[in-house]
């Protein structure tokens, strides 16, 4: 089984983000790190691959106009076999749909049986890419998985919902998006870090994939988020708990 | 005028000189991996280990699985990383606790290194893969109750009896002594000082833990007792005779310490910076007062300077141009620096600074050991003194 995992390289979340004053795009440093939420996708892929033995391979897929490889190196050091890097200046500022078209084309070209992604990226938060990719590829989308099993050539997941979870099954090929509770990602080992240097990284452009980047979305302005309002303080006169229950009912959590 | 303008902006308070830029992608990846391991496994537990005076033995296996044990050695299951990689790992481990860094130093630099450098092929095959994996722990027996800075005066001896060797004596202040599976023991012989690979289940070998420590509490410290320990002829390390054997191991370990100390100092500086910007007195954060700012700046400068020294020495080690006295420069200055930073940080944290809720007094107490072991500050001063004057003050 050929497993392809989408990994996004993002500016280090520990450093404050800056927006370009004209395009409002996030200013991206040369070296970007692996989006933490993607470590879960990588771990799911590696576990499936370990289970399937030699018949499985794990390839990373990343679109990174600046050509950063630091984040990819981390995922390779965790144990992935190789990577495909889409490096193309015309993709700078690509919107979610363009990104999905590129990723779908690359996954199809790589003959992926399973494409794994996180649910949303930590820098963009659009949260629509996995579903779009599945639609473009014409394959099932198994989303928000909090548990993943490979049973009889099919994928069975527990899909996290607001109320609990749904059990969802789908045939391969498929797109799978995983939440960050799904598995405990492994550390890259030191040997893995050494080996990652010599693992194959294939670099492609949009043209190689037969996709013309047509960024149809423009950020017209950016506004500061309103500061949070101070919370309500409930003085407990012995029946404070009733007020708390009312509040919880108001926000529909009980 | 310089071609390049001096830019605006404020540097990262936690990496003021952007020393990160001097590291490769792989070096940063390794550093981040160890930092994450320390954040997940060491920091949440170390105050408790320190309070209890213990360190879990299974930590060795977790570190082995990552590749931390003997990471700078090649072959035999070792990861074969660079000296700078090893240094960065020591720094991050000691930002957790000097005890955890000591654990790795002893295993990799003091127990595995002599087997790797001076052992027979059989010794290497027998011990190194298991030690790299953390399945087998090692310790290093050089210091004795009456022989510390002057190891040449050691009394532990090995005499030939037919083909066998028979060892007698005692070793003191031995990290991981009672949890070790194998001890590298240095002893006087007719051929000068030799190293012996001693399985700790050999008859006549016993250990006694040293209790009532107020430093390196998250670390096992033991006495090794050797009473007619009979070893086969092939237990001796064939590749070295004389004091240069153990001293070369110490150079390896001291190299790790000069990095590790920067980690302890950084942890104290970060704790003090965080505390002083949130703790309010007289209507404002104490970091706003001139006395505190002076202390914070001194710490920040010291930590950056120490890291530059460590990185410079590390690059020289990887280039094969490093001398033992240059390691002394780093051990001498960086550990002294770290202890000063820890004491200053302790002061900034006020009463909170004396509890294990915060890391500073733990580091401060640990560093009292670090400044003493692997060559006291005084011994390194004299090594440096001899290096620049040509006059040996020891004799």
Which residue has 């303008």 as its token pair?
A: B5
Is the pLDDT confidence value at B348 over 80? yes
Of the listed ranges A175-184, A216-225, B363-372, the least confidently predicted one is A216-225
B309 belongs to a structural domain: yes
Radius of gyration, alpha carbons of chain B: 22
Q: Are residues B172 and B279 in the same domain?
A: no
Note down the domain range covering B298.
244-389
Q: Are residues B248 and B380 in the same domain?
A: yes
Q: How far is A221 from chain B (nearest CA, A)?
A: 25
Our answer to whether residue B368 is catalytic in this structure is no
Q: How far is A196 from chain B (nearest CA, A)?
A: 9
Is the pLDDT confidence value at B338 over 60? yes
- Tell me the C-alpha distance between B324 and B384, whole Å: 10
- Chain segment A28-58, per-residue pLDDT in tens: 877 788 998 899 999 999 999 999 888 899 9
B11 belongs to a structural domain: no
- With contacts defined as CB-CB under 8 Å, which chain B residues touch A193? 26, 29-30, 33, 81
| Domains contained in chain B, number | 3
- With contacts defined as CB-CB under 8 Å, which chain B residues touch A74? 29, 32
Option in A190, A194, A197 nearest B68 (CB): A190
Domains of chain A: 2-209 (3.40.50.620)
Is the pLDDT confidence value at B1 over 60? no
Contact B33 A188 (CB under 8 A): yes
pTM of the model: 0.90
Decide if A199 touches B, using CB distance below 8 A: no
Name the A residues in 174-193 with CB < 8 Å from any B CB: 187-191, 193
Decide if B92 touches A, using CB distance below 8 A: no
Q: Are residues B144 and B102 in the same domain?
A: no
Work out the pLDDT band at B194, boundaries 50, 70, 90: very high
Phi, psi values for residue B23, rounded to 5°: -100, 145
Q: Are residues B371 and B255 in the same domain?
A: yes
CA quadruple A20, A25, A28, A32: dihedral sign = positive
- Which tokens hold the place of B275? 């505390």
- Chain segment B236-262, per-residue pLDDT in tens: 999 999 999 999 999 999 999 999 999
For residues A85 and A232, which has the higher predicted lDDT (pLDDT)?
A85
The pLDDT of residue A193: 94
B5 belongs to a structural domain: no
Contact A193 B71 (CB under 8 A): no
Work out the pLDDT band at B2, boundaries 50, 70, 90: low
Work out the pLDDT band at B134, boundaries 50, 70, 90: very high
B10 belongs to a structural domain: no
Contact A187 B29 (CB under 8 A): no
The contacts of residue B219 (CB under 8 Å, 6+ apart) are: B55, B98, B99, B100, B102, B103, B175, B176
- Chain segment B278-298, per-residue pLDDT in tens: 999 999 999 999 999 999 999
User: B9 — alpha (psi -120 to 50), left (phi > 0) or beta?
Assistant: left
Q: Are residues B37 and B92 in the same domain?
A: yes
Give, in order, the Cα–Cα distances in Å from B87 to each of B105, B175, B257, B326, B346: 10, 20, 8, 15, 26
Option in B29, B36, B37 nearest A193 (CB): B29
B310 belongs to a structural domain: yes
Q: Are residues B192 and B302 in the same domain?
A: no
Contact A70 B71 (CB under 8 A): no
The pLDDT of residue A30: 77
Q: How far is A239 from chain B (nearest CA, A)?
A: 35
Is the pLDDT confidence value at A154 over 70? yes
* CA angle (B30, B36, B41) in 5-degree steps: 125
Q: Are residues B97 and B121 in the same domain?
A: yes
Decide if B354 touches A, using CB distance below 8 A: no
B395 belongs to a structural domain: no
Q: Are residues B129 and B143 in the same domain?
A: no
Which of B177, B203, B235 is where one domain is finished? B235
Is the pLDDT confidence value at B391 over 70? yes
Decide if A11 touches B, using CB distance below 8 A: no
Work out the pLDDT band at A253, boundaries 50, 70, 90: confident
Work out the pLDDT band at A13, boundaries 50, 70, 90: confident
Among B22, B24, B26, B63, which would you mutate to test the A interface (most chain A Cβ atoms within 10 Å of its Cβ)? B26
CATH at residue B33:
1.10.540.10
Which of B235, B256, B283 is where one domain is finished? B235
Closest alpha carbon within chain A to B75: A191
- With contacts defined as CB-CB under 8 Å, which chain A residues touch B80? 194
CATH at residue B210:
2.40.110.10
Beta bridge partners of B198: B183
Question: Residue A196: which of B172, B26, B214 has the closest Cα?
Answer: B26
Name the B residues in 10-39 with CB < 8 Å from any A CB: 12, 25-26, 28-30, 32-33, 36-37
- With contacts defined as CB-CB under 8 Å, which chain B residues touch A69? 25
- Tell me the C-alpha distance between B253 and B327, whole Å: 10
For residues A215 and A139, which has the higher predicted lDDT (pLDDT)?
A139
Q: Are residues B108 and B143 in the same domain?
A: no
The pLDDT of residue B125: 98
B341 belongs to a structural domain: yes
Q: Are residues B317 and B186 in the same domain?
A: no
**Which is it for strands A9-10 and A33-34: parallel, antiparallel or unpaired?**
antiparallel
B14 belongs to a structural domain: no
Decide if B104 touches A, using CB distance below 8 A: no
Which of B209, B235, B261 is where one domain is finished? B235
- Mean pLDDT across B60-70: 97
């Amino acid at each position: 089984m050929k497993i392809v995992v989408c990994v996004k390289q993002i500016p280090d979340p520990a450093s404050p983000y800056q927006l370009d004053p004209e395009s409002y795009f996030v200013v991206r440093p040369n070296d970007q790190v692996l989006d933490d939420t993607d470590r879960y996708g990588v771990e799911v892929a590696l576990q499936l691959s370990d289970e399937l033995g030699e018949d499985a391979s794990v390839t990373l897929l990343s679109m990174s106009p600046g050509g950063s490889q630091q984040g990819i190196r981390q995922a390779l050091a965790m144990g992935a076999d190789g990577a495909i890097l889409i490096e193309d200046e015309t993709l700078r500022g690509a919107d979610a749909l363009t990104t999905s078209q590129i990723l779908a084309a690359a996954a199809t070209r790589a003959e992926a049986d399973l494409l794994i992604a996180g649910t949303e990226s930590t820098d963009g938060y659009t949260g629509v890419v996995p579903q779009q990719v599945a639609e473009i590829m014409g394959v099932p989308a198994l989303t928000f998985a909090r548990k993943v099993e490979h049973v009889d050539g099919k994928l069975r997941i527990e899909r996290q919902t607001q109320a609990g979870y749904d059990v969802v099954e789908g045939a391969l090929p498929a797109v799978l998006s995983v939440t960050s509770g799904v598995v405990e990602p492994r550390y890259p080992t030191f040997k893995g870090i050494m080996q990652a240097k010599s693992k194959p990284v294939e670099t492609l452009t949009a043209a190689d994939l037969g996709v013309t980047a047509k960024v149809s979305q423009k950020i017209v302005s950016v506004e500061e988020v309103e500061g949070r309002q101070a919370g309500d303080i409930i003085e407990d006169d012995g029946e404070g708990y009733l007020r708390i229950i009312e509040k919880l009912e108001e926000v529909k959590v009980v | 005028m310089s071609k390049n303008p001096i830019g605006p902006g404020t540097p990262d308070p936690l990496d003021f000189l952007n020393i990160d830029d001097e590291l490769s992608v792989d070096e940063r990846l390794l550093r981040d991996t160890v930092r994450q391991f320390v954040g997940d496994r060491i920091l949440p537990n170390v105050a408790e280990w320190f309070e209890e005076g213990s360190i879990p033995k299974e930590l060795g296996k977790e570190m082995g699985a990552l590749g931390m044990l003997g990471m700078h050695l090649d072959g035999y299951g070792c990861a074969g990383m660079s000296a700078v990689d090893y240094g960065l790992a020591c720094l991050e481990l000691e930002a957790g606790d000097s005890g955890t860094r000591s654990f790795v130093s002893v295993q990799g630099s003091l127990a595995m290194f002599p087997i790797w450098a001076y052992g027979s092929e059989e010794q290497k095959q027998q011990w190194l893969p298991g030690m790299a994996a953390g399945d087998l722990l090692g310790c290093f027996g050089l210091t004795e109750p009456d022989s510390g800075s002057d190891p040449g005066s050691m009394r532990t001896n090995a005499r030939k009896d037919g083909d066998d060797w028979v060892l007698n004596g005692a070793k003191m202040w031995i990290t991981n002594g009672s949890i070790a599976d194998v001890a590298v023991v240095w002893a006087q012989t007719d051929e000068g000082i030799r190293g012996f690979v001693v399985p700790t289940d050999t008859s006549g070998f016993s250990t006694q833990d040293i209790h009532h420590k107020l430093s390196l509490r998250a670390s096992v410290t033991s006495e090794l007792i050797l009473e007619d320990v009979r070893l086969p002829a092939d237990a001796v390390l064939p590749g070295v005779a004389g004091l240069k054997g153990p001293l070369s191991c110490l150079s390896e370990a001291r190299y790790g310490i000069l990095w590790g100390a920067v980690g302890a100092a950084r942890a104290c500086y970060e704790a003090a910076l965080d505390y002083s910007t949130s703790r309010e007195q007289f209507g404002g954060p104490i970091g706003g007062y001139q006395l505190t700012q002076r202390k914070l700046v001194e710490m920040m400068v010291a930590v950056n300077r120490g890291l530059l020294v460590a990185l410079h020495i590390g690059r020289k080690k990887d280039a094969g141009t490093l001398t033992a006295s240059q390691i002394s420069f780093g051990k001498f200055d960086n550990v002294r620096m770290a202890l000063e930073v820890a004491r200053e940080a302790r002061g900034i944290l006020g009463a909170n600074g004396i509890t294990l809720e915060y890391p500073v007094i733990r580091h401060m107490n640990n560093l009292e050991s670090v400044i003493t072991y692997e060559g006291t500050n005084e011994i390194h001063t004299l090594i440096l003194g001899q290096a620049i004057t040509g006059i040996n003050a020891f004799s």
